[in-house]
Amino acid sequence: MTIQVIVRRLLFLITVVWSASTITFFIPRISAKNPVRERFAALSRSGGFAPADMEKIIAAYNTKFGLDKPVLEQYVDYIASIARFDLGVSFNLYPKTVIELITESLPWTFTLLLVTTILSFILGNLLGAVAAWPRAPQWLRAIATPFILLQGVPPAIMAILLLFFIAFRLKLAPLGSAYSTGVIPDWSSPAFIWDVVHHQLLPALALLLGSIGGWVLSMRGMGITIQGEDYVNFAEHKGLSGPVIFKDYYLRNALLPQVTGLALALGTVVTNGVIIENIFGLPGLGRVLGAAIGSNDFLVIYGVVLFITIAVATLMVFVEFLYPLLDPRVRNE
Amino acid sequence: MTTTTLDRTAFLQPSPMTLMGRYLRRNKSLAVGLLILLLLVLFTANGLATVDAENAYPLSVKTKQVPSVEFPLGTDYYGRDLYVAMVVGLWQTALIGVLAGALGTLVGVVLGFISAYFGGWLDAVIKGICQILTPIPAFLIQVIIAGSLDKRDVTIYTMAFVVVLLAWMGPTLVIRSQVLTMKERQFVAVAKLSGMGDLGIIFREIFPNLLPFIAAAFVGQVFFAVFQSFYLAVLGLGPLREPLLGNTIWNANGASAFFNNWWWWPMAPAFALVLILGSLALINMGMDEIANPRIRRTE
């Protein structure tokens, strides 16, 4: 991979980040909704009275948040503040900043999604490769079928089915939340860590079962194509053993397009993660987003969406940088 | 020398119905998918004809009833009859799916044709926008759009529209690549040489050949529209009063249905969505076979 390619990818990344921030800036401004007014309306609804000079208060807050400036000036300020990693403050949990909320919740989301995505990628690709491999035993090839059938079921639905059958009926797992109620978080105690893991098992299973089928299906298709290739026939005629052909000739080549698939799937992974966290009540970015939507906390909604978007776009470009490590042809270009 | 007259009917093609029946017997996934979809349509149509749709809204029936003869799917905390909510919810889900699916496919086909057939800077712009939007998770942008709308303005139709805004890139790229290959085929060259205009070539030569791809893209779009609008509703961004399937799950989740032993509340919509999305996925797999004759099975 040459410097030129790297520079081109980085420029593309910057374009994507800029487009995403522009979209998150302009869409809310097209609507007539004023976040400050909305917030005060909600407060006066729940409080039961509206202060006499509410309009003055709203105007004061509009000035404070810069909402009374011309849109273009606001846009420049906004892009400048993003470059400083400043995403504003939460209305609901004032004076917490959006960045603070994100850094607190990110480790939960990151761990859950990293573990499930890697597991589902490895398991799905192995199952798919075996399903298309004519020499594999019949029973091993048949394992893939139920996963392909599950492919149409989104993880959120899987989550509800698992909650009902495993947590509610069989009582094998908790019904949600990050750890048992009344437990004080203490990351040095093994009992607490086990409690957390125990609570993460069902969400992880939902994400895994909901995403594995896609890998099985695409890898099986890939495998069928690769079997007809000349180099696989040649390896067979050379008399190489089955496992060697499977690993070095068949799997290695079939995996290359799957890595591109992994980069493209990152958006779906994050989307599913957001919904799963809300269904299980886990403390992560998705839950922060869900709570912000519920309480009209606009800056948090925009900030979290922008953060996830930038993270996904950056990861995508980096997965592409992994490509030369896997494919010597690209490395030598 | 004698000539025998053959019975002409022995050579006639079987009726289209028989042919379709035979095809469905070969293409199992298409047949099963269509069957499930048909059952769902019958369930919804029968329900809409027999129930009082008012009971799908809060404060209409006794609250928190376990499924029984009177309430086949139980009732929820807010006093909705969940069977009626299911019927109305299925109808609304179908409406969003078909509307957003049709609109998205239409935009995709038009842009894909323009981009591939005319090329040049138009192609560069359309392709560039698609490429930049690909790494941005569409769902999150939909969250921003749906979140910026006034809660009172959110209806089934605005949901469909929000979904379409970020769903046309897929069909655009598919149609674009198909037109690009088709435009180089000989029949197009012949049409050009015989003096046919651009519009004539697009509509009389290329378009009919693309119909299987467009049909497959449509089914894919309906799947995505149902999926995305469901996820938006689960986050509480749907039309809050309507008994949309995702809204029912959002309500049940907000009221901690499983903690409170109201297990029937989220289960029925979950199963309904498994059936809807499952049947659409099966139909999509079956359509693949029509669009890609290479993997078509023979009798």
Query: pLDDT, tens digit, for every residue of A16-26?
Result: 889 988 888 88
Residue A264 counted as domain residue: yes
Cβ B258–A164 below 8 Å, yes or no? yes
Across A126-130, B13-17, B183-187, least confident range: B13-17
- Is the pLDDT score of B299 beyond 50? no
Residue A48 lies in a domain: no
**pLDDT, tens digit, for every residue of A317-332?**
888 787 777 777 776 5
Q: Which residues of chain B are within 8 Å of residue A270 when distances are taken between CB atoms? A: 137, 140
Superfamily of domain B18-291: MetI-like (1.10.3720.10)
* Nearest CB to B267 within list A164, A167, A305: A164
Residue the block writes with tokens 């790494």: B135
Mean pLDDT in chain A? Answer: 85
Contact B289/B30 with Cβ under 8 angstroms?
Answer: yes
Residue A45 is assigned to a structural domain of this protein: no
> Measured between CB atoms, which of B137, B145, B267 is closest to A308?
B137
Mean pLDDT confidence for B157-172 = 89
| Long-range contacts, stretch B167-170, CB < 8 angstroms, 24+ apart | B167/B100, B167/B104, B167/B138, B167/B221, B167/B224, B167/B225, B167/B228, B168/B104, B168/B107, B168/B108, B168/B111, B169/B108, B169/B129, B169/B130, B169/B133, B169/B134, B170/B108, B170/B217, B170/B220, B170/B221, B170/B224
Q: Please give the average per-residue pLDDT across B149-172, as a whole number.
A: 86
Q: What value, to the nearest 5°, has the Cα angle with vertex B61 and ends B59 and B64? A: 95
> Which residues pair with residue B75 across a beta bridge?
B81
Q: Which residue in chain B has the smallest CA separation from A301?
A: B144
Taking 90 as the threshold, does the pLDDT of residue B68 lie above it? Answer: no
User: Would you state the torsion angle of the CA atoms of residues B223, B224, B228, B231, taken in this order, to the nearest 10 degrees?
Assistant: 50
Domain with residue A281: its CATH number is 1.10.3720.10
Would residue A29 count as lying in a domain? Answer: no
| CB spacing of B144 vs A301 below 8 angstroms | yes
Question: Which residues, in sequence order, are CB contacts of A320 under 8 Å at separation 6+?
Answer: A9, A260, A263
pLDDT digits (tens, 9 = 90+) for A271-319: 999 999 999 989 899 999 988 888 878 888 889 999 998 899 888 888 8
Contact residues on chain A for B143, CB-CB shorter than 8 A: 289, 293, 301, 305
Tens-place pLDDT, residues B218-240: 999 999 999 999 999 998 888 88
* Residues of the domain holding A213: 98-326
Give the pLDDT score at B240.
82
Per-residue pLDDT, B91? 94
Who has greater pLDDT, B290 or B159?
A: B159
**Phi, psi at residue A97, to the nearest 5°?**
-90, 160
Distance CA B138, CA B155 (A): 20
SS3 at position A243: helix
- Mean model confidence pLDDT for chain B: 85
Instruction: Label residue A318 left, alpha or beta by phi (over 0 means left) and psi (-120 to 50 means alpha).
Output: alpha
Is the bond preceding residue A243 a cis peptide, omega within 30 degrees? no
Tokens of A205: 């299973």
Determine the 3-state secondary structure of B13 from DSSP.
Answer: coil
> Can you tell me the mean pLDDT for A249-271?
88
Res. A89: pLDDT tops 50:
yes
- What pLDDT sits at residue B222? 94
Helix (H) or strand (E) holding A180, with range, is: none
B280 vs A contacts (CB less than 8 Å): 152
CB atoms within 10 A of CB B181: 9
Report domain extents, chain B.
18-291
Contact B287, B23 (CB under 8 A): no
Task: Quote the number of domains for chain A.
Answer: 1
A33 phi and psi, to 5 degrees? -70, 125
User: Which residues on chain B place their C-beta less than 8 Å from a C-beta of chain A?
Assistant: 131-141, 143-145, 147-150, 227, 230-231, 234-237, 249, 253, 258-259, 263, 266-267, 270, 273-274, 277-278, 280-282
Strand partners, A231: none
The amino acid at B268: A
pLDDT(A32) > 70: no
For residue A301, list chain B residues with Cβ-Cβ distance below 8 A: 143-144, 147
Which are the contacts of B233, defined by CB distance < 8 A and separation ≥ 6?
Answer: B159, B244, B245, B246, B247, B249, B250
Per-residue model confidence (pLDDT) at position A220: 87
Q: Which residue has the tokens 């809060």?
A: B58
Q: What confidence tier does B271 reach under pLDDT thresholds 50, 70, 90? A: very high
Q: Which residues contact B141 (CB under 8 A, 6 or more apart)?
A: A20, A23, A24, A27, A305, A309, B165, B166
The 10 Å Cβ neighbour count of residue B47 is: 17
With a cut of 90, say whether residue A124 has pLDDT above it: yes
State whether residue A316 sits within 8 Å of chain B by CB. Answer: yes
User: What's the CA angle centered on B144, arms B141 and B145, to 5 degrees?
Assistant: 90
Task: Give pLDDT tens digits for B5-62.
Answer: 766 666 667 788 888 888 888 888 889 999 999 999 999 999 888 888 787 787 777 8
Using the structure block, give the residue that is written with the tokens 């896609």: A214
User: Which range is least confidently modeled, A107-116, A179-188, A203-212, A247-256?
Assistant: A179-188
In Å, how far is A225's CA from the nearest CA of chain B? 12
Kindly indicate the confidence band of residue A140, based on its pLDDT and cuts at 50, 70 and 90.
confident
**Could you tell me the pLDDT band of residue A61, with boundaries at 50, 70 and 90?**
confident
- Does residue A34 sit at the B interface (CB-CB below 8 Å)? no
The more confidently predicted of residues A189 and A212 is A212
> Residue B298's pLDDT is what?
43
B235 chain-A contacts, CB cut-off 8 A:
274-275, 278, 289-290, 293
User: Rounded to an integer, what distance in angstroms lies between the CA atom of residue B27 and that of residue B29?
Assistant: 6
Task: Look at the block and give the residue holding tokens 């091993």.
Answer: A140
Q: Say what the pLDDT of residue A293 is.
A: 85
For residue A204, name the pLDDT band (cuts at 50, 70, 90): very high
Burial of A115 (0-12, 13-18, 19+ CB in 10 A): middle
Q: Contacts of residue A161 in chain B, CB cutoff 8 Å?
A: 270, 274
**Whole-structure pTM over 0.90, yes or no?**
no
- The per-residue pLDDT for range B83-100, each reduced to its tens digit, is 888 999 999 999 999 999
Question: What integer pLDDT is reported at residue B216 of this predicted model?
Answer: 87
In a domain, A164, yes or no: yes
Nearest to B144 among A15, A27, A317 (CB): A27
Dig out the tokens for B198 from the structure. Answer: 């651009």
